[in-house]
Amino acid sequence: MSNDTNEFVAPSSALVTGGAGFIGSHLVRRLVKMGTTVRVLDNLSTGRIANLDEVISDVEFHEGDLRSPEAVSQAVNGVEVVFHEAALPSVPRSVRDPRTSLDCNVTGTLNVLIAARDTGVRRVVFASSSSVYGSNPTMPKVETLVPAPISPYAVGKLAGEGLCKSFAEVYDVETVALRYFNVFGPYQDPASQYSAVIPRFIAALLNDEAPHIHGDGEQSRDFTYIDNVVNANLLAAQGPQEAVGKAFNAACGYRTTLNELVEEIAKALDVEPRSVFGPTREGDVRHSLADIGSAREILGFEPTVDLAAGLKETVEHYRDAGVSAPA
């Protein structure tokens, strides 16, 4: 379902931080397919080496932590482009442990940017998040809105964007930030307590259980299939000088409520939709919808896989993998 790789300019060499994770591993597989020499840096705290099974012999794998300047410098040295996907994910995790979240996501990003500056990397593409918009009620979310992050995770992502902009202006390090909106697809871990809603909902329905929804289910998100996000990364790596130092939404530009999502997943699984509801989760925002006009105009980004098609691919992956519901 991916775009034809001929539509993109392959970097000669690239580092993918967090390359054993969900998004990172998809990006690694695409880069390998394009003929890029790929290096991966991952501490395997949330990523899994199994995510890279089909390409592990084609990549240079470094097991190391973003918080180690030495490990980061060694991994960055000699590559043309850095795709900085690594982070300690999850809003709830950051609420529970803000110090570790910010240490990994802010200090880690600073280490990547310093190494990129010192080793002559051409461009750094930074994985940011729609969570930076936070409580700002304006819809859709356009990049010129004043950020209003709620959770420590969102604050860390916004700080990472600020560092990218600073390094672009002060040190002439080319940086582009992508604000991801609720990315989903194969290889997301449904068994993690911090897993995103789609793999958790799929796992529950596959196991004849009712998905658990925080709140009334009428909160909405701009769910974005992984292929669209990989495409956005490749376009950001090759984008014009006009893109440098800026942040762009990476999304589909339409929103779906969680209640509608359960119905769509149930349809893809050919089962009856059902849900159980609980308290609203601390740090969550009510609605999220991206304006992708800037990414379309400057990067040439266009989502190619819609929600229904993406869910079909994702459901087939989890069914084939024999997933079990999270504890």
What burial class does residue 307 get, using C-beta atoms within 10 Å of its C-beta: 0-12 exposed, 13-18 middle, 19+ buried? buried
- Which DSSP letter does residue 246 get? E
Catalytic residue list contains 171: no
The tokens describing 109, both together, are: 């990003």
Cα–Cα nearest to 125, from 247, 290, 252: 247
Rounded Cα gap, residues 28 and 51, in angstroms = 10
**HEC readout, 144-167:** CCCCCCCCHHHHHHHHHHHHHHHH
The tokens describing 291, both together, are: 């304006």
Rounded Cα gap, residues 103 and 311, in angstroms = 34
Residue tagged active-site, from 153, 187, 225, 318: 153
DSSP alpha helix (H) spans, the chain:
22-34, 69-76, 91-96, 98-102, 108-119, 152-170, 197-206, 226-238, 258-269, 293-294, 307-321
Rounded Cα gap, residues 327 and 192, in angstroms = 8
Tell me what percent of the chain is helix, strand and coil, each rounded to the nearest 5. 45, 15, 40
Rounded Cα gap, residues 302 and 296, in angstroms = 6
Residue 278 CB: number of other CB atoms within 10 A? 9
Q: Which residues are catalytic?
A: 153
